[in-house]
Amino acid sequence: MTFKGSIPAVITPFYKNLDVDFDSLGNHIDFLIENGSHGLVSCGTTGESPTLTHDEHMLVTEFIIKRAKSRVPVMAGCGSNSTKESVELSKHAYSSGAKGNLLVTPYYNKPTEIGLYKHFKTIAESSPSLPVYLYNIPGRSILKLSTNLIKKLSNIKNIVGVKDATADLATPLEVSYLCGDKFIQLSGEDATFLAFLVSGGSGCISVTANVAPKLCSELYNSWVKQDLKRCMEINSILYPLNKALFIETSPCPVKYALSKMKRCTNKLRLPLVSVKNETKKEIDITLKNMKLISNSPYRGINFFTFRNNRPISPKQYTYFIKSKLF
């Protein structure tokens, strides 16, 4: 299974008590798929995997795969700085029906290139039928996968691609040169989605697509149709949203944005906390400008749910509220 296009890195919603909110997660998955997303990633950085327990990690992965119902492929985040734990998560992902395995570069323990090679090789060979995508994100893991190491790893049969969050647009050109066009490259930086496609990429594992899945999928579809004018238009529309969602550490801004859209609570597990008030204002302005939220007090109200299931107008709603008839 080849991953390409707009692939949201799915958030993990929480209740106020910080238990995983599977109801909101299920609704969000449907929302992403119904708005054209080409795949999903479970339990990545955006899914707050570092603060999920081992059991929660597996439950969330299983749930996303089952809820997707084969409508789109699911890539399971199975990365860890413990090779043994990654092997366990990878085996579980494969048995659950995942179509890809996303492995982040080990963080904190800073292995050498030999250690990195053995780490990825061991995990890949533990589930030989599950395609592996390396996750190169030096901003979080400290270590950057060199293009020579990526080339060496690409010789392992089921290591088929990389998520590149380096924001260095020369990297996909060099990886294509070293590994060939069949090696799949996915951007891990929303702001470089279009530029990454131009540099030989196949899509984007996206934070922004949680908020604007239709626009993100349309950008890729327009690229496939070679409609560069529409690509540029969408890229410009998405620019302020991409900027707003990374003012502070992700996924804090996207969680707040989605709470404003009534898709989840604005709850994160420590050490992550909600964004500052100044950031909230920036996100609010962006969402309103893009018509993703409204100033209207009636947004989100189902006018068929009141008064014996008969539809009521906003004017009637105001009257009923003032008259305390609800």
Query: How distant, in Å, are the alpha carbons of 173, 183, 214, 215 from that of 201?
Result: 9, 10, 20, 18
**C-alpha torsion angle, residues 22, 48, 238, 36 (rounded to 10):** -40
* Angle, alpha carbons 34-238-205 (nearest 5°): 60
- The answer to whether 228 and 235 have CB atoms below 8 angstroms apart is no
Q: What is the rounded CA–CA span in Å between residue 275 and residue 290?
A: 20
Q: Catalytic: 163?
A: yes
DSSP state of 42: E
C-alpha angle 27/267/60, rounded to 5°?
50
Instruction: Report CA-CA distances (Å) from 279 to 8, 32, 52, 209.
Output: 22, 25, 26, 19
4 is catalytic: no
> Could you give the 3-state DSSP secondary structure of residue 8?
strand
3-class secondary structure, 31: helix
- In the sheet that 132-136 helps form, which strands lie side by side, from edge to edge? 5-8, 203-206, 184-187, 159-164, 132-136, 100-104, 74-77, 40-42
Residues in the chain: 326
70 contact partners, CB below 8 Å, separation of at least 6: none
How far are the Cα atoms of 160, 302, 307, 319 from residue 311, in angstroms, in the given order? 53, 9, 8, 14
Identify the active-site residue in 94, 99, 133, 135: 135
Q: Which one is catalytic: 4, 99, 152, 163?
A: 163
The strand pairing partners of 104, in sequence order, are: 135
Amino acid residing at 10: V
Q: State the amino acid at position 54 in one-letter form.
A: H
Residues classed as catalytic: 135, 163
